[in-house]
Amino acid sequence: MPQKIREAEGLLRSIPNPGETILPKEGEVNILITSALPYCNNVPHLGNIIGSTLSADVFARYNRTRNRRTLYICGTDEYGTATETQALKEGLTPRELCDKYNVLHVETYKWFELAFDHFGRTSTPLHTEISQEIYVNLLMNGYLEKQTKEQTYCEGCQKFLADRFVEGTCPSCGSDDARGDQCDACSKTLDAIDLINPRCLISKDHKVTTRSSVHMYMKLDALQSVTEKWIKKSWKEGKWSPNAVINAEGELIDDRLRAGLHPSPITRDLTWGVPVPMVEGEDDQGMKGKVLYVWFDAPVGYPSITANYTPEWKQWWFNKSNVRLYQFMGKDNVYFHTIYFPAMQLGDGRPWTTLFHISTTEYLNYEGGKFSKSHNRGVFGPAAKETGIPPSVWRYYLISTRPETADAMFSWADCIAANNNVLLNNFGNFVNRTLKFVASQYGGVIPESGDEPGPLSPNGDVDAEFISDINTLLKDYIEAMENVKLRLGLHTIMLISARGNLYLQSSGLQKALMVADPKRCAQVVSRAVNLIYLLSALVYPFMPSTSDSMLAQLNAPARTVPEVFSTDILAGHTIGTPEHLFKKIDEKMADVFRAKFGGSRPGEASPLPSPDATHVAPGMSKRKATAAKKVADKTALDEKPKSAEVLAWEQKVAEQGQAVRELKGRTPKTPELDKEIAAAVDVLKKLKGELAGLQSAS
């Protein structure tokens, strides 16, 4: 089929050839993106996915629609006590465990259509090499020191025990299953030597005592001044998202910074990890046989995974003048990416590419509770595909509920409503109605509209308000995405498609218009088709499969996001075959999914109660539990700019309002017409009342 697309520089999206290595270009804005490296000791749940990998993928795809050189790097974080302890539980070696879960992570992210340029691992020779280089540079620059402290020791294993290899009674609340780093019962951070009746995780019969052990510490106190200066400069330039390090006024509010940083241990008594390098001419003084602390080597995973992608990795990681580093993560990782790792880079002394913008999220909870793998509650790993809900719908719903400023709540009812009321009735309806009309009335060929190729000018145009509205919304979308406000960007797309539906409604696009005013009908068709082409680029970061389907139906190549609404698909262009982008999901499936993924509460075998039920935690009164639930529910609702129902009803109100205006404009006036107008007004009033109720509830 012939394609007639406007020939303009920068109109089409640049797509790298298969196997092409992406490197930054001198003098351009090059985008380097990382998402927090997931631990390789379990499978990710929906909260993990929206908190880092999916959000980063959306932003990476957006930058590709602007034809920027963009590299998105991620991989599994494989070292540390969490891996060793899980391996013990599963009867595997740490390497076998990591091999197992790396496959599950890759499978999960592939299904969610995450387009990493490279998804790697930290258990590679290059990772060891780069981590050890940083360690040695910090040592040579005077930022490391040895300290001797008491540490738990297992006489049966005849070795020192890292914190997670010790269990015992919590000295704070008395719980008998506290770990050496934290008590899950009271959430208090612990030191393993403070546990009462400590037990070795390997064998509870072994006697656990304490002995002196030497470890290397990074002198964060000596690096605090230069780190604070860097934070204030980078926060201002990169417009960081709100977090616990610095507030909107640029004041450092992190408690650790305000109290003064202390030397932090960077070595552990483990076997699974990056070996502490033995420096020539330096006395090891007890460092032999130890490994680097996982939070020392984990951030090094970003450059080391890049190094496994290309030997030219330093073009990305030692290129501050041409590369902007964006990092995505949950709020619990902020300290390590805004203080700890930057301090490492500054102390290393080389010209590292440092953080430009950090995008953090709060927590996504599940149906009135929390995700829990141990109690099989929530959607984990590749289980999302068991629902039959397409990846595009998952991606849409998760981004639409992205917990950017407060914790949010996953809801099956909301997820289904998002598909049925927004994606199907709003977005999908506009695309399908337009293209089916072109196929049925014009034989699939775009008619001559009289519009010149290029930007549409609203001056004196019959569609001046429509064109102006689209350009305003397009500007809002670009501004939101440039500032990494992903949820707002997605919301703006739905407003654009809703405006497209209103345009079709107000223009009266139907066969009668084609007969009565063929020139006007052709103009409406051309502009609607070109709005679909624009939407294909806007929606690509969020729903890539949906974008691909739109392009196939348009029979058009992938395009960039423009600054203004234009005529880019020209008269004479032949479209593909129109198909529905989305399918309705039966609302009753919410109960089915809730039962399937509800799991059980601790000590119970029954599935979760409905989301409206109030769960009373141990030690919490019914009154306090109810009050806490109200706050949580309000937070979850406030988190969404507009719910799926509100968006759908806004569209219905707009369409019904236009219908009323059209009826009132008819002539001659007759009693029958007056009755029809009155009935339409009653419907409009009812819709407005329902909308007001939804807005009030939201």
Q: What is the 3-state secondary structure (H, E, C) of 24-80?
A: CCCCCCEEEEEECCCECCCCCEHHHHHHHHHHHHHHHHHHHHCCCCEEEEEEEECCC
| 662 is a domain residue | yes
* Same-domain check for residues 560 and 648: no
Residues 686, 569, single domain; the answer is no
**In terms of domains, do 564 and 674 share one?**
no
Q: Which of 574, 606, 633 is the last residue of a domain?
A: 574
Question: Residue 687: its pLDDT value, please?
Answer: 76
The residue with tokens 């303009």 is: 8
Q: What is residue 604's predicted lDDT score, i.e. its pLDDT?
A: 43
| Residue 669 included in any domain | yes
What's the pLDDT tens digit per position in 402-450? 999 899 999 999 999 999 999 999 999 999 999 999 999 999 999 999 9
Residue 352 contacts residue 345 (beta carbons within 8 Å): yes
pLDDT of residue 179: 86
| CATH number of the domain that residue 443 is part of | 1.10.730.10
Secondary-structure percent of the chain, ordered helix, strand, coil, rounded to 5: 45, 15, 40
Q: Where are the beta strands (DSSP E) in 550-682?
A: 566-567
Identify the pLDDT of residue 556: 98
Q: Look at residues 574, 594, 620 and tell me which one is the last residue of a structural domain.
A: 574
Sequence-distant (6+) residues with CB within 8 A of 233 are none
pLDDT at 242: 74
Residue 259 placed within a domain: yes
Helices first, then strands: H and E counts in the chain? 24, 18
Query: Would you state the pLDDT for residue 649?
Result: 60
- Domain end among 528, 543, 574: 574
224's CB contacts (< 8 A; 6+ apart) are: 257, 260, 261, 343
| Measured distance CA(674)–CA(326) in Å, rounded | 60
Parts of the chain with a pLDDT under 70: 1-2, 243-244, 281-285, 600-652, 654-668, 690, 692-698
Regarding whether 677 and 567 lie in a shared domain, the answer is no
Which helix (H) or strand (E) covers residue 326, if one does?
A: strand 323-330
Q: How far is residue 168's CA from residue 155's CA, in Å, rounded to a whole number? A: 16
Q: Is residue 299 part of a domain?
A: no
> Residues 684, 550: one domain?
no
Residue 686 lies in a domain: yes
Pair of tokens at residue 141: 């620059």
Specify the CATH number for the domain of residue 208. 2.170.220.10
Looking at residue 590, what is its pLDDT?
95
* 157 and 269 both lie in a single domain: yes
The total domain count for the chain is 3
Q: Which domain holds residue 159?
A: 142-285
Residue 34 covered by a domain:
no
pLDDT score for 2 = 63
Cα angle 270-271-277, degrees, rounded to a multiple of 5: 90
How high is the pLDDT of residue 21? 97
Domain presence at residue 187: yes
Return the number of other C-beta atoms located less than 10 Å from residue 226's C-beta: 13
pLDDT of residue 188: 78
> Is there a single domain that holds both residue 558 and residue 661?
no
pLDDT tens, residue by residue, 10-33: 999 999 998 899 999 999 999 999
pLDDT value for 354: 98
255 and 173, same structural domain? yes
- On whether both 566 and 659 belong to a single domain, the answer is no
Query: 603 Cβ partners below 8 Å, 6+ apart?
Result: none
pLDDT at 549: 98
| Shared domain check, 568 and 436 | yes
Same domain, yes or no: 652 and 564: no
Question: How many CB atoms within 10 Å of residue 618?
Answer: 6
Structure confidence at residue 485 (pLDDT): 96
| Residue 326 counted as domain residue | no
The pLDDT assigned to 24 comes to 97
